[in-house]
Every structure is written in C-alpha cells, then in structure tokens.
Structure 1
Amino acid sequence: MNETFNARKYYPTAVALYITYFVLGIAASIMGQYKQDFAAMWNAATLADGTYDVSGVVAVIAAIGLGRLIAFPVAGPLSDRLGRRLSALIGCALYAIFLLAVTFSPNLYIGYALAIISGMANSFLDTSITPSCMEIFREKGTIANIFTKLSISIAQFLLPFAISFVAVRELPFNTIFLVTAAIIVIDGIFLVFLPFPPFERTIKTANTKKERMKFTPAAIALVCLGFTTSTTFMLWLNCNQELGTLYGLADPSKIQSFYSVGIVLALFVSAALLKRNVEPAKILVAYPVVALVTLGAIYFIQQPVMCLAGGFLLGFFAAGGVLQLVTAVANEMFPKNRGVITSIVMIASSVANYLVVSVAGVLTRVGGAEGPRLVLLFNMAVTLIGILLALYLNACLKRERAAAREG
C-alpha cells in the first residue's frame, strides 16, 4: 500500500466497469420499450382499441426497484469485505440471467422474478463501480463517478436507434436482449482477469466493532439527498408525456430527446466545475434550485414549448449526475465503508423510485386531466426539501472544516 500508485494500470478495468453501466442503462429501460410484446407473450387482455393491457408488464418493471432494495443491504458489505471484483461479477452474472431469460419467460410471474434479479444486478454493480472509480482515479474520483451516468445516458440514447434497426429488419424483439447479454458476459470475463485497485478492506473482528460508521448530521443529510435528488427526475420521467399532451404538444416523445441532451451536457459541465475545485456540496444546492425554478415555470406557463425547455433543463439540473455527486461525497466521507455507504444512498434512491411513483399514480387518478400538474406540485415540494437539506449539508461541512483547522 506504500508503493507508488499507478492509476494507468487500472484504466482497462475502468473501461470494463463503465461498459457494465452501459448494459445497466439498456437493461433498466428496455422492457418499457417492448411493453406490448411482453403483454402479448404473457397473454394479456386485448383492449377495445386492439392493443394489449400492459398493466401487468408495468408491475413487472416496478419489480426492478424491489430487487434493488433487496440486494443493497447485502451488496454493500460484500463489496467492502470481499472486494469490488466479486460484487461486479455477481452483477454481471445476474444481468446475463435476466437478459437471456426474460424474453422466454412463460408468464408474468416468472418475468416478475427476473425483474427482481435485474434490480439486484443493478445493486451489485452500484456497490462495485462507484467505489472502484473513486479508488482508481483518486483525486478525480468524483468526476469519474459522474461519468458512470454518461455510460447509462449513451446506452439510453442509442437504444431507440437499435430498436428501429431491429424493427426495420424484422428481427425478433428479443434480439437486443440477447446481444446485450453477450456484451455483459464478455465484459464479465474480462473483469475476472483485469486488476482492481487496492481498497481499505473492512474485516469484521472484535477489534473493529469500535470503528463503526459514525452517522453525523452531514451524513444523514446526504442519505436524505439520495431520496430527494432521485425524486426530482423520477417524477418528471413519469409525468412528462402526459403533461406534454395536456399542454397541447404535438409530439410529447420529443421531451425525452431534450431531456437526454440536457443530461449529457450537464455531465461535462459538472466535470469542468469539479476540475476547477468547485465543491460538490455547493453544486448540490445550485442544481436543485434551478430545477425547482424550472418546475415552477412549467406549472405556471402552460405552453408546449415549456415542456421541451423544461425537459432539457431538468435533464441538466436534476438528472445530470446529481445523484452520482451525492454518492461521491458520501464515499469521501466514509473511505473505509464505500460499498456500504453507496448501498445506503442507493436504498434511499430506490425507496424514492417506489414511493414517489406510487404517490404520483394516486395524484394522477385523483387529479384526472389535471393530474400531471398535481405531480409537478408534489415534485416542487420534495425538491424544495432537497435544497434545504443541501444547505444544511454545506453548513455542517463548513463547521467540520473549521473544527479541523482549530484542532
């Protein structure tokens, strides 16, 4: 551990780890693109307009969040005690199982179980890739962690083109699933042999019980930010199409394109800010403030163009690596428990995924045609709480630094 650390030695490992997040980006969203195909495969009821009832498929997709919640309590400690490699390989194996099997599942119950496996794969990758990036790039670990979001965004940007390619050539709908499975299997084989950086291993002994994680007010605020930062973009993702229709936008699907461009631009801008030594905690205040103003503008200015502009701005200021910044700051706070703290932050994110989307569903039913605007108000409330938490986090960190200087 005292010898000079050579980061270049681990660059091929970093590339392989980023590829796992590329696969994650596809796996997390591809079922949503083929809801009708899965509904037909699982013998769903036919609606009056000739399409299939996809409610069962939506329930299966929601199980991905359940899988994340199940695995995170195990994945974090495993990564800290047994190594990042094992956690990454388990994630790769679980994704391979999901991608290979889900399009052959005979009913939605098997599909539900496989979706849980997909969520578990997500958890094991999160608790490997985030700490590994911090350990490979060290001084630039926060920037490196933000770019995990870029891998996901590239995958989700390319996915519609891949779907069109498959459709034009009349290939089976499971083609992308099988190709993606092949990518994760090959990448997993590389990860078996590529070197991983040294890390501060957590070993459970009688002596280390005294070194338990100390959750300061700043750490608790960070975990809560895992919930609020996730909520802002998740609620937007789940209401923007309906909102576009309500506001008279001719093609609501364009909102997603503007949103994706915003995400990619934000990642590069955030990386540039961090390179100039702007504190991540300050970005965690600034970005949600702009997101809140954007949500308010969309609520009050009921014009189609606001949906497109709002999609771009929320992609930039809500989804453009803000959650990754939260996990990076948390990793710096707990260098000996990076896998565990990543798990805890992501559990908060997973709870947001399940809870706020459920609330959004209730608001949509209660509000009828105005439901999407009620979701906007709910989103504004949670985002405001996130801003207050981020301000509190900055105050705590400022006090901690002052105490350290005096000490």
Structure 2
Amino acid sequence: MKNKYLSTGIGLYINYIIHGAGTIILAQNTEFLSEKWGVKTGVVLWVISALGLGRIFSMVFSGALSDRFGRKPFILLGIVTYILFFLGILYSPTPQIGFIFAFLGGIANAFLDTGTYPALIEAFPERSGVASILVGFAVSWGQFLYPLLLAFLVSRELWLGYSFIIPAIFIGANAVFIATRKFPKYVKNIKNSTDEQVIGYEKNEKVRWFDAVVCVLYSFFCQATSYVVVNWLANYASEIAGVSVSGSRIIMSLYGAGAILCVPLTYKLEDHVKNDSNIVLIYSLVSVAAVMLLLLFKTPLMCGIFAMLIGIACEGGVMQLVLTIMTQFFPQSKGKCTGFYYSSSGLATFSIPIITGKIMIYGLQMIMVFDLIVALIALVLAIIIYERYRRIFG
C-alpha cells in the first residue's frame, strides 16, 4: 500500500486512534464528571447520549459538504470540532452545557467519517477495502490505550482532567501534520474528469437508487447483528451456557480479538478473491453460521468461538467493505454515501437496545433467534450486493 499518500493515511489513522479514546472518554469519566457537576450518574449518561444524537443529526449534510468542498478541509474541521469537544466537556460548568459540547463531539465524529473514508478510498484505490478497515483497527487501539492513560493518572493521583487535555493536544498536533500532507486531487464534476480514480464512472451509469438502498439497509442489519452480541452475549453466556461472570468478560474480549484478526485476514483474502463483494458474501455467511451454531450448541466453548467469528465477520470491517462498494457504485458522491451509510448504522445502534429489550420478556434464547433473523436479512442483502456488483463491473 506504499504510495505518495502513505503519510496522509498515517495521519488519518492517528486521528482515529484519538477518536477511539473519544468514543469512551465520557463513559470512562462518569464518576469524575458527576462529581464535577454535582449530579447523579444518570445525568452524565444523558450527556453521553448527545454523542450519538450529534452524529446522526450531522451525518447526511456533512457527507454532502465533504463532496462539495473536498476531504482535507472537512477533516481539519472535524479535528477542530473534536478539540472543542474535549476541552468544552472538561470546562463545562453544568451538564446542560456539557450536553452541547457532547453534541459537538458527535458532529466531529461525522465530519471525520465523511472526510476520512472517501479520502482513504481515493488515496488507496487498489486496497480501498483494507484502507477502510484499518480505521476500525485504529479506533480499537484508541479504546485500548485510553483506559491505560486513566489508570496511570489514577495511580499517580493526578487530575483526571488531563485525560481530556492530552487527547486534545495530540489531535491538535496531528492537525498540523495533516495540514502539510498531500491529498488526492478532488474532482467535483466527475463526468468530465480523466482521473484514473473515477475511470469506472461510465459503467456506474447502470447504478440505480436501488443499489444505494440495499447498501444502506445492509449497514443497518450488519450493525444490528453485532450490536445484539455486544449487548447480550455476556448475559447469554452466563445464564444459558453456564459461563462465570469473569468468563463472560473473557468471551467478550474474544469478540474484540476477532475484530483485530479480521484486518490481516481481509488483506489476505483480497489477494485471492476477485473483489470486495465476494468477501462481504463470505463474512455474511459466517455470521449466519455462527449464530446458528450458538443456538444449536449452548456451551462455553461455542460462546467463545461465536464471539470471535462475529468479531471477524461483523465488527472487523465488513461494514467498511460495503461502504467501499457503495462509493464504487456512486464515485461522484463518496461523502454522501458515507453520511447515509453511517446514519443507518447509527439508527441500528439506537433502536436495537429498545427492540431487544422488548424481546427479553421471552428470554435470552429468543434474542439470539432475533439475531439470526437479522443476520439472514443481512445475508440476503449481501447476495444482492454481490449480484449487482457482478452485473455492473463484470
């Protein structure tokens, strides 16, 4: 993947290491913020909800703006907004003001997503799928390193506010680095372009709105499949499979290990398959098979195997692969694609806890049956994406 945009890619991945910290920074500092504001934990959780609201609210329009003004300025805008989030939360005198800055944090996430994913796809067209998957890999590292920073501050009895200031400093310094990097030439009028990265546009005239709908729906159902696991697998393992509480946490760590393992696995698969749609189909089949095995064999071993398989098939990058395919369908609207795509996954994150909470009255077994149904729908959508990709690109 070595090319003239390699240093640009490194800068973008550094952003997402810090973003990984940003996704958990409020949850990790719940007690600190509740003491700072003099409120109960529930109020801090209300502030945390603003992150998701801000992201969903801004995803669609941020994608359109990214397509209009280009990737680099939008990424830098996202960094500035993230700095406002980190420092704004820290110095907010009330949770109400904190809510506003948390909302800004969600907007910052949307700005980064709708600028970064298109930029990576344009910078690394031959390995666009892996380039996109590495974003999630970087986020995982941020989520791993940030608790270590907190543990260091606590062990040294230092002010926990530094855990907000340090990410702000790092992402600010990275903004200076990114500002000096080269980005792929941005083409607004793609039909008149001779750029190699948009050479397939004439074939894409066959693309219809139906293809966009299928990809966006896949985002919802794939995210739903993994989010059921995130919310319920630990309980399922302990109550149905007889795993201890500590053992159920180890099982969830296998889920994260699967997500990390997916990166080199996908890299190797891209050397042996024709295109990313084949990999999406393989991972979707693995998801269905994994849920079916869990329902048939309710053992601690199967829970661990299931967690790793779902981590590989759902959390490890298949969603980024479908986004890559969607941007190949609509190369003139990569930002819009990213906006609509991740708005759909955001709706899944919001709605699945509510839906599964209702299903819980029928037991954990029925929640996993629901997960199987969701995975089957995702598989059907993956088959459609595979067929449409084959017809359009050959």
Does the alignment reach a TM-score above 0.5?
A: yes
Distance 1:35 1:214 in 2: 47
* Count of residues in Structure 1 that have an aligned counterpart in Structure 2: 378
The question of 1:182 aligning with 2:169 is answered yes
Matching residue of 1:224: 217
Counterpart in 2 of 1:197?
A: 184
> Residue type of the partner of 2:86?
L
Q: Is the 8 A contact 2:273 2:279 kept in 1?
A: no
| Alpha-carbon distance in 2 for matches of 1:15, 1:122 | 18
Matching residue of 1:3? none
How do 1:224-243 residues align onto structure 2 when only pairs under 5 Å count?
Answer: 224-243=217-236
Aligned to 2:331: 335
- The Cα of 1:270 is off from its aligned counterpart by 0.6
Residue 82 of structure 1: how far off its partner (Å): 0.8
Q: Confirm whether residue 127 of structure 1 aligns to residue 123 of structure 2.
A: no
* Deviation for aligned residue 1:182: 0.8
User: Deviation at 1:173?
Assistant: 2.6
Counterpart Cα distance in 2 of 1:57 and 1:352: 22
Q: Judging changes above 3 Å, is the alpha-carbon distance between structure 1 residues 55 and 286 closer, same or farther for their aligned structure 2 residues?
A: farther
Relative to structure 1, is the Cα distance of residues 114 and 296 closer, same or farther in structure 2, using a 3 angstrom cutoff? Answer: farther
Matched, 1:400 2:380: no
Task: Name the structure 2 match of 1:359.
Answer: 355
SS at match of 2:270: helix
Match of 2:72 among 85, 101, 105: 85
From 254, 258, 262, the counterpart of 2:254: 258
- Is 2:101 the counterpart of 1:114? yes
Residue 24 (str. 1) matches residue 19 (str. 2): yes
Q: 1:380 to 1:40 in 2, by over 3 A?
A: farther
Q: CA deviation at 1:202?
A: 4.9
**Inter-partner Cα distance in structure 1 for 2:146 and 2:295:** 30
Q: Secondary structure at the match of 1:194?
A: coil
Task: Identify the residue that residue 195 of structure 2 maps to in structure 1.
Answer: none
Deviation at 1:7, TM superposition (A): 7.3
8 Å CA contact retained: 1:200, 1:335: no
Residue 87 of structure 1 aligns with an amino acid whose one-letter code is: F
Shift of 1:212: 10
Shift of 1:273: 0.9
The corresponding residue for 1:207 is none
Higher deviation after alignment, 296-305 or 27-36? 296-305
Provide the TM-score with structure 2 as the length reference: 0.88
Could you tell me which runs of 5 or more consecutive residues in structure 2 were left unpaired when the two chains were aligned.
Answer: 191-203
2:372 equivalent to 1:380: yes
Aligned to 2:32: 37
Match of 1:272 in 2: 268
Larger mean Cα displacement after TM superposition, 212-221 or 36-45: 212-221
Residue aligned with 1:8, SS: coil
Question: Alignment partner of 1:387: what SS?
Answer: helix
Amino acid at match of 2:217: C
Q: 1:230 corresponds to which letter in structure 2?
A: Q
Q: Which amino acid aligns with 2:372?
A: M
**Of residues 223, 231, 243 in structure 2, which corresponds to 1:248?**
243
Shift of 1:288: 2.2
Q: Give the Å deviation of 1:350.
A: 1.3
Code of the aligned partner of 2:392: E
Q: CA deviation at 1:401?
A: 4.3
Confirm or deny that 1:166 pairs with 2:161.
no
Q: Rate the CA distance shift 1:395–1:66 in 2: closer, same or farther, 3 A.
A: same
Per the alignment, do residues 376 and 104 of structure 1 end up closer, same or farther by CA in structure 2, a change over 3 Å counting?
farther
User: CA shift at 1:213, angstroms?
Assistant: 11
Contact 2:207 2:329 (C-alpha < 8 Å) held by counterparts: no
The answer on whether the counterparts of 1:213 and 1:337 sit within 8 Å (CA) in structure 2 is no
Instruction: Write the deviation string for residues 337-366 of structure 1: whole angstroms up to 9, x where unpaired.
Output: 1111111111111111112232233334x3
Q: Deviations over 1:185-243 (max 9, x none)?
A: 1111222222211022259xxxxxxx999634333211111111111222222223333
Q: 1:375 to 1:159 in 2, by over 3 A?
A: farther
Partner of 1:154: 141
Is the contact made by 1:262 and 1:314 (CA closer than 8 Å) also made in structure 2?
A: yes
Q: How does 1:249-328 map to 2 (within 5 A)?
A: 249-251=244-246, 252-328=248-324
Write the distance in 2 (CA, Å) between the matches of 1:325 and 1:347: 16
TM-score normalized with structure 1 length? 0.85
Q: Output the CA distance in 1 between the equivalents of 2:205 and 2:55.
A: 24
Question: Percentage identity across aligned positions?
Answer: 28
Q: Which amino acid aligns with 1:267?
A: V
Deviation at 1:266, TM superposition (A): 0.6
Distance (whole Å) between structure 2 residues aligned to residue 328 and residue 64 of structure 1: 25
Instruction: Determine the C-alpha separation between the residues in 1 that align with 2:390 and 2:315.
Output: 26
CA spacing shift, 1:250–1:192, aligned 2, 3 Å: same
Deviation at 1:327, TM superposition (A): 0.9
Query: Residues 91 and 121 of structure 1 are in contact (CA less than 8 Å); yes or no, is this contact kept in structure 2?
Result: yes
Residue aligning to 2:208: 215
Cα 1:392/1:331, change in 2 over 3 Å: same
2:341 to 332, 338, 345: 345
Letter of the 2:220 counterpart? F
SS in 1 for 2:187: coil
Change (3 A) 1:186 1:60: same
Does the residue aligned with 2:315 lie in a helix, a strand or coil? coil
Q: Is the 8 A contact 1:81 1:202 kept in 2?
A: no
Tell me the secondary structure at the aligned position of residue 188 of structure 2. coil
> Counterpart of 2:5?
10
